């Protein structure tokens, strides 16, 4: 009656031993380390390792070892002070397309790593770092889409010889004015047929005759969703360029993005790179008109007035030769002729063909490089302070086109090597689809992270000890068996988190503490049922069997309903809520295994071979 077959006992032992094996790496801790990652034009090899070792030895910085791992170089050090010194030395001594960043390197033995046993990751609140909550400017995303449509309208109407007076882009619509009603009606039919995502309407009794275009609700949702997803991808690319280990970039709601950078303490640099919306435009210089007339307010049609960063005015063609969206690689360098900072640029196929054609036709003409940055300012409007976003274009370089340019070229005129480095990074990572604003910022120091670890560990231990004492006193031998299962349950939770390479946070620790209580809850139900069976006169063996059999449905119902709640939390929650849901879900699954199968196996071994045992419960 109370015997498990051999295979089931072996299965339980194998699961617990395997769990212990994968949980062990969390006992070894981490080494403070400096991580050197290569960009597209860099390479992590023995030559780089030799360069790193030479630089550290020259500054008398002792290190444990330098190793290559997963396409990066790790320098392991003894403490955090040496880590910071080593980072400064390597940042100044390593040249080329490399990123130097702080990291923590696990000290897991190689034989454990060889079988895939690695420690779990620690979240921002345990490891330290920075947390940003960013909001995407959806109005700007819609405006950019309308600007794009307006450009298409100009080309379409010009090709079909439909005469219009002007195209005006507003906050949520585009208005086109025509010379005659006939041209307006032709345009209405053409645009309605070509653009199903737009609502095309005639503005009645308007002079001149006009059409108004609105985006449909479906198109608006698609534009906003695309802008959010594209910004998430761009932010991930920028973080990868920064070399941050184990970052978190995820959507929150319809317009916000959460960015967590464990181990990063330089918030100024992180904000500068993540929030920047810089891009480039290449335009031809208009030499046919007088730039002074444009400064005085008489800007000729087809041209636009820009200013160099030193204050000089330039009259540039309205047509953009090339934009930053066609740039696939960029690297900071030094111009061989002038010795000034420069950025070497590589274009994609489409951009290279277009740029080649336009430069071929304009050899001998001057071309300007315009650096465009989005900035947010606080302005007082109607007595209230309102954040206003504006584009700040600057001409950074003007040069005569000497040859036909194609896939690779470089731009100069930058103020410093750091500006060249930052611009190259932004161009490599891509431009944001819409401007973003940091609405919340938190910094967690390494010491505070360690305090959180200590407090979280203490909470688990205290809760664990109280449960152990209560179960041992109240249920005696059966209570000790439940305690053994509880210890196995904690080991299995840690093992699963490590195997999944999940990130443990403070809410995750709260989920583990809650699981400790829920794990013994199942055994309390079983043991109380056994006591009840003994009180009504059943034999000890029958009572054990009835206790486990009759309590199972109640235990299953309680755990399944909690598991459903955890799944809902994971599906609709974000960040730390997901961490709580993960540990709670894993804890429910492991507690069902240890509290039912595990304790039953041990009870069977203790009492199963006796005819009429005296139960200590």
Q: What is the CATH number of the domain that holds 416?
A: 3.30.1360.200
Residue 163, number of CB atoms within 10 A of its CB: 14
Same domain, 520 and 547: yes
Query: Can you tell me the mean pLDDT for 264-287?
Result: 71
Q: Is the dihedral of CA 242, 504, 578, 510 positive or negative?
A: negative
Query: Can you tell me the mean pLDDT for 370-374?
Result: 76
Residue 312 in any domain: the answer is yes
Same domain, 359 and 421: yes
Answer whether 332's CB lies under 8 Å from 424's CB.
yes
Q: Which of 220, 250, 268 is the last residue of a domain?
A: 220
Please identify which residue in the block is written with the tokens 């005469």: 163
pLDDT tens digits along 545-602 = 888 888 888 888 888 998 998 888 888 776 668 778 888 899 888 988 998 888 989 9
Residue 382 DSSP one-character state: T
Instruction: Give 277's pLDDT tier (boundaries 50, 70, 90).
Output: low
Residue 258 in any domain: the answer is no
pLDDT at 488: 92
Bigger pLDDT: 617 vs 525: 525
Residue 485 in any domain: the answer is yes
- Where helices occur in 361-445 by DSSP H, the ranges are 417-429
Same domain, 486 and 420: no
Same domain, 512 and 491: yes
Q: How far apart are CA 254 and CA 145, in angstroms?
A: 18
pLDDT tens digits along 399-422 = 788 788 878 888 776 667 766 776
Average pLDDT, the chain: 82
Residue ranges making up the domain that contains 80: 30-106
Answer whether 38's CB lies under 8 Å from 97's CB.
yes
Q: Which of 68-77, 106-115, 309-318, 444-453 has the lowest mean pLDDT?
A: 444-453
Same domain, 211 and 355: no
Q: How many domains does the chain have?
A: 4
pLDDT tens digits along 173-207 = 889 988 888 888 888 888 888 888 888 888 887 78
Residue 236 in any domain: the answer is no
Residue 158 in any domain: the answer is yes
Instruction: Give 301's pLDDT tier (boundaries 50, 70, 90).
Output: confident
Same domain, 540 and 503: yes
pLDDT tens digits along 417-471 = 766 776 676 666 666 777 788 888 777 665 556 677 777 778 878 878 888 888 8
Task: Compute the C-alpha angle 499/503/507, nearest 5°.
Answer: 125
Residue 228 in any domain: the answer is no
Same domain, 414 and 455: no
pLDDT at 272: 64
pLDDT at 106: 82
Residue 294 in any domain: the answer is yes
Same domain, 589 and 509: yes
- Where residue 450 sits, what CATH number does that domain have? 1.20.1640.10
Answer whether 127's CB lies under 8 Å from 152's CB.
no
Answer whether 410's CB lies under 8 Å from 345's CB.
yes
Task: Compute the C-alpha angle 503/507/509, nearest 5°.
Answer: 75
Q: Which of 19, 149, 71 is nearest to 598 (CA)?
A: 19
Residue 225 in any domain: the answer is no
- Flag whether the pTM goes above 0.75: no
């Amino acid at each position: 009656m109370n015997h498990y077959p051999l295979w089931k006992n072996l299965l339980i032992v194998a699961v617990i031993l395997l769990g212990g094996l994968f949980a062990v790496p969390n006992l070894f801790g981490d080494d403070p380390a400096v991580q050197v990652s290569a960009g597209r034009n860099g390479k992590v090899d023995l030559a780089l390792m030799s360069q790193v070792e030479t630089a550290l030895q020259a500054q008398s910085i002792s290190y444990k070892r330098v190793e290559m791992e997963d396409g990066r170089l790790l320098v392991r050090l003894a403490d955090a002070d040496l880590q910071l010194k080593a980072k400064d030395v390597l940042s100044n001594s390593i040249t080329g397309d490399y990123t130097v960043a702080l990291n923590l390197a696990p000290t897991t033995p190689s034989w454990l790593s060889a079988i895939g046993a690695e420690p779990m990751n620690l979240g921002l609140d345990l490891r330290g770092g920075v947390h940003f909550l960013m909001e995407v400017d959806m109005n700007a995303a819609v405006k950019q889409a309308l600007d794009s449509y307006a450009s298409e309208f100009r080309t379409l109407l010009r090709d079909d010889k439909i005469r219009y007076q002007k195209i005006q882009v507003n906050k949520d619509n585009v208005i086109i004015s025509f010379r005659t009603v006939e041209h307006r009606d032709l345009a209405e039919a053409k645009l309605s047929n070509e653009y199903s995502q737009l609502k095309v309407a005639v503005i009645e009794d308007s002079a001149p005759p006009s059409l108004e275009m609105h985006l449909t609700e479906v198109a608006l949702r698609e534009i906003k969703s695309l802008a959010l997803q594209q910004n998430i991808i761009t932010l991930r690319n920028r973080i990868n360029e920064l070399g941050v280990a184990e970052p978190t970039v995820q959507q929150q709601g319809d317009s916000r993005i959460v960015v967590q950078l464990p181990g990063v303490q330089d918030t100024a640099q992180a904000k500068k790179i993540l929030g920047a919306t810089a891009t480039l435009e290449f335009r031809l210089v208009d030499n046919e008109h007088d730039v002074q007339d444009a400064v005085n307010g008489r800007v000729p049609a087809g041209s636009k007035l820009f200013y160099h960063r030193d204050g000089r005015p330039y009259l540039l063609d309205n047509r953009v030769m090339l934009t930053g969206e066609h740039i696939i690689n960029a690297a900071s360098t030094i111009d061989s002729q002038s010795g000034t900072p420069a950025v070497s640029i590589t274009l994609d196929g489409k951009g290279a063909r277009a740029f080649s054609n336009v430069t071929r036709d304009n050899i001998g003409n001057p071309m300007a490089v315009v650096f465009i940055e989005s900035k947010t300012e606080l302005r007082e409007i109607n007595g209230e302070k309102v954040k206003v976003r504006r584009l700040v274009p600057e001409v950074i370089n003007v040069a005569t086109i000497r040859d036909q340019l194609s896939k690779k070229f470089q731009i100069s005129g930058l103020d410093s090597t750091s500006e060249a480095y930052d611009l190259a990074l932004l161009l490599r990572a891509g431009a944001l689809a819409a401007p973003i604003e940091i609405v919340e910022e938190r910094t967690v120091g390494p010491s505070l992270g360690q305090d959180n670890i200590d407090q979280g560990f203490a909470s688990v231990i205290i809760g664990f000890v109280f449960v152990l004492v209560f179960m041992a006193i109240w249920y005696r031998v059966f209570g000790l068996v439940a305690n053994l299962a509880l210890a196995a349950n904690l080991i299995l939770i840690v093992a699963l988190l490590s195997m999944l390479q999940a990130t443990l946070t403070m809410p995750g620790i709260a989920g583990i503490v809650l699981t400790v209580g829920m794990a013994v809850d199942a055994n309390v139900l079983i043991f109380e049922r056994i006591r009840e069976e003994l009180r009504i006169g059943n034999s000890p063996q029958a009572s054990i069997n009835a206790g486990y059999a009759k309590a199972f449905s109640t235990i299953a119902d309680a755990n399944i309903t909690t598991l459903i709640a955890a799944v809902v939390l994971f599906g609709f929650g974000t960040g730390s809520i997901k961490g709580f849901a993960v540990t709670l879900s894993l804890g429910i699954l492991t507690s069902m295994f240890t509290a039912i199968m595990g304790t039953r196996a041990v009870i069977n071994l203790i009492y199963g071979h006796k005819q009429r045992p005296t139960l200590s419960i």
